[in-house]
Amino acid sequence: MADVLINMKKQPMFLSLLIRSIILAFCFAHAVAELERFEHPPKADGSLSTLVIGDWGRRGTHNQSQVALQMGIIGEKVDVDFIISTGDNFYDSGLTDVNDPAFDESFTQIYTAQSLQKQWYSVLGNHDYRGNAMAQLSPILTHRDTRWLCLRSFIVNSEMADFFFIDTTPFQEKYFTNPEDHTYDWREILPRKHYLSNLLRDVDLALRESGAKWKIVVGHHTIRSIGLHGDTIELVAQLLPILEANDVDLYINGHDHCLEHISSTDSPLQFLTSGGGSKAWRGERNTDESIFYYDGQGFMSLEIGENGIDIKFYDIGGNVIHKWSRDKSFYSFM
């Protein structure tokens, strides 16, 4: 009887220890969580070609179809391996659900060239968060069009180059404190401080562990820009120091509906805006600090080879309107 009483007295302590162990195990598992990774092998010679488009989904209007046409032509010339979307994939307010016809009308039926039947890696923009953000992340869309892959944050490993895709919309304070007439889909984001802290930690860790020759970060929002939206102060304060500390080569974004190239004055980092996928010509320009600024529609190509990296911007006619190259021993403007 005494033994039974002793065991009964020990049960509360045992349960307490068990609960603590479960909580610690959960916290540890969350602490070591990593960004999801995808392998995308380069060509047989080790080279890699991508196209970059942003701020595009308008059912073919505002010259979206014309930009898509030129993307198909250039995609064939450079033998493109995959396409990057910098967000604001569907206007004006993302998708309503996984059955929204806008997915077909703004994506599948627009980017029809054979060269564009490759993998698309996409991030969400602020307009995407104004709709059903979870719909764009759903594998159901991948079943509808196998090219489509959209996640909040993830990594694409391609041997000599690593691409780090980052969910930048939750960084902007105004979307939470002053959303105006918009409603944002913050499912899986709240509590925001916790979400951002984990994301920054995971990005920093992934960049530090990367052994790739080229480190390229993709997000929707600008870090540096002379366009309508200008610099995103939250990213300048929180993300930029991580990129500079980890020797990131390129930060590629959309958000400003233009084509733009700014060179960092503090590091080799280049800021590249490809947000001219459809509606543009806003007539806004804050300063003259950029290397290149074009307030019109277009897109960007990125070619990575053994000896370096080549970047080109194209207008709606497929004309090269800016180009830039670098290797690891020097870089040059052209």
Q: Which residues are catalytic?
A: 229
CB 275 within 8 A of CB 254: yes
Contact 229, 264 (CB under 8 A): no
Contact at 8 Å (CB) between 87 and 128?
A: yes
Neighbours of 215 (CB within 10 A): 21
- Quick check: helix, strand or coil at residue 258? coil
Separation between Cα atoms, residue 69 and residue 62, nearest integer Å: 13
326 strand-pairing partners: 309, 331
What CA–CA distance (Å, rounded) separates 210 from 157? Answer: 9
Measured distance CA(269)–CA(291) in Å, rounded: 13
